[in-house]
Structure 1
Amino acid sequence: MHRDAATTVFMIPELAECILYQLGQLNAWRQLFVIQRVNSTFQSIIQTSPDLRRTMHLEQPDARRTHVTKFSEAVDIYKRFFFNIEDLLYPFWTNTRPIGRGTPSAAIAVSMNISLYWSEESPGVMISDPPAEAMDRTTPIERNESWRNLLVPYHPEHALELHCCGYDVMARFGGKYTLGDLADEAIRAGKAHLGGLGRVMYYGQD
């Protein structure tokens, strides 16, 4: 049977792994979870490749890694990571920012906040309410699904802190910290926040 060039390339595991690795480096690493379901060859390549599994945030970084990530690079890495999983964290939205840049206590802060819906109650008066289904055990962040096993990127040379609803809920988490761990912290803080949240009113101009 005649095979085209692309098929021939993907029949060679080493070449297929290189191509899939490049895909994972292009902010499309979540697609690797879909691709591994295409056939047994892709599944085997992905499941047995430490590099691909690291790209998919399923394994810790290589302990032999000698490259030191610059602070600004690490900030961008975390921004891209949380941007790519924002649908999994609903009703929270994330904001990744540096704090204390250029100081000994510099850190990267991942802030998680619950989205509020704004509506106009009367001219010049805006009212905000959390989503009706927030923290009712049906939202994406509360589901017990496989994404909870994903590892949060870890760059030990830069401190990483989690802030939720205005509070520092976990300072400086480490290399084995999963997205499920982060979600549990956010849910706990989010429920406490919603429990004491009254309707927020904004008075603007007519």
Structure 2
Amino acid sequence: MPLISGALYWPEIDALLVADLHFEKFSSFAPSGQFLPPYDTAMTLQRLEGDIDLTGARKVIALGDSFHRDNGVNTLQPQDRQRLSALTGTLDWVWLAGNHDPSAHALGGHCAAQLAIAGLTFQHEPRPGTKGLVAGHLHPAARIAMNGKSARRSCFAYDDNLMILPAYGASTGSLNILSPAFQGLFDKSALQVVMIGRDRTYPVGSSRLVAR
């Protein structure tokens, strides 16, 4: 079940899947002299808490790049660390390694490179030719054109073998699924797209997708 937040809820195992939280992204700019308000982590946590309450999920699978950098674990504000500890302490929580945060940490939950459940594989980066893979990393978005107008929104993208979740974090960007980064990942004849609207998700026919 795709949610308007960018999370995916799997009722059969009572799990909430989220990709690319990028906690502590704004604070990561401070060493270079760019002092951005460090509120992105709190905003993402609020979104996550809301989805957990909405779905009643008992398991969370974070598909990598949960932190914008490995030492982001150490720059968490005390109140954000407390909120995160409350979540990992009450839920079955799995942190999968990403390219931004490959190292294991001690925030609670279980750290792993990948996870296999019910014939599906969960990992951070999508790989071509892998059947039953659920991943993140690329922050997919779709642009559609209709009646002379266009709209661009983050999206879920999938075919018979691969699903890529949109980025969940409050400070993340997105990449058009027709860009070269997605080349060879999907069977174009089987590609399905679900765009995130303001108050619901929308399945979109691949024929309506445009690059720009």
TM-score higher than 0.5 = no
Question: Hey, which of these two has a bigger chunk of helix by percent?
Answer: 1
Question: Hey, which of these two has a bigger chunk of strand by percent?
Answer: 2
Higher relative contact order (CA 8 A, sep 6+): 2
Larger C-alpha radius of gyration, 1 or 2?
Answer: 1
| TM-score for the superposition, normalised by structure 2 | 0.23
| TM-score for the superposition, normalised by structure 1 | 0.24
